[in-house]
Structure 1
Amino acid sequence: MIQDVIEAKLTEAFRPDYLQVLNESYMHNVPKGSESHFKVVIASKFFEGKRLIEQHRAVNQVLAEELEECVHALSIHTYTPEQWSQQQEAPDSPMCFGGRLKD
């Protein structure tokens, strides 16, 4: 499963205090069971002192192969452990406006 690969790569690269990888493909106009749209919520010491764009680029770099081959969309929410301890919730993703879901 792509979700498992994403989780393993992010865990190895960032040793996160918190990691959640959600398959949000069901929210989009794709066949049932697809693994093409993901949301990543990650808190890691790696992100301390880095600008948001640097944090997101680091995640994209780790997942470059998946983004090139099979992942169509990736929503990234990065936090330092301190930020996460204060927030502990990422924003909800909106539903896709691409039409009805396929069966």
Structure 2
Amino acid sequence: MPAVREVLETKLRAALNPVAVEVVDESHLHAGHASAPAGGESHFRVRIVSDAFVGKTRVDRHRLVNQILKDDLDDRVHALALKTLTPDEAR
């Protein structure tokens, strides 16, 4: 079974055709918290650069990403920090 980080990255690449995407597992920073599962792979930081964000507000961008990752957010991902940029904003 692929790591959760890989699953998230694969879904984002397929749906948004990004110029750049980085998914970082930060679960180790939350070890011992009541909501942190013993196996980790629950807290992630994502930076994604895509033309799909052009003309969208930050809230709309986050909603789009959350919809793409809905199954994972409902199941195994507890926290997701997002940085969503257009290619122009990333330059």
Q: Does 1:8 align with 2:43?
A: no
Q: How does 1:1-103 map to 2 (within 5 A)?
A: 1-29=3-31, 30=36, 34-85=40-91
TM normalised by structure 1 equals 0.79
Query: In structure 1, what residue type is equivalent to 2:45?
Result: K
Counterpart amino acid of residue 25 in structure 2 = N
Q: Deviations for 1:16-48, whole angstroms, at most 9, x for unmatched residues?
A: 001000000011034675100001100000000
Query: How far apart, CA to CA, are the structure 1 residues paired with 2:82 and 2:48?
Result: 8
Structure 2: runs of 5+ lacking an equivalent: none
Deviates more, 1:11-20 or 1:22-31: 22-31
Which segments of structure 1 move beyond 3 Å, counting only runs of 4 or more? 30-33
How many residue pairs end up in the alignment? Answer: 85
**Distance (whole Å) between structure 1 residues aligned to residue 70 and residue 24 of structure 2:** 18
- Aligned CA RMSD, in angstroms, stands at 1.2
Larger Rg: 1
- Asked if structure 2 preserves the Cα contact closer than 8 Å seen for 1:26 and 1:34, the reply is yes
Determine what percentage of the aligned residue pairs are the same residue.
Answer: 42
SS at match of 2:52: helix
Q: Distance in 1 between matches of 2:38 and 2:83?
A: 25
Instruction: Give 5+ residue unaligned stretches, structure 1.
Output: 86-103
Distance 1:76 1:82 in 2: 17
TM-score (norm 2): 0.89
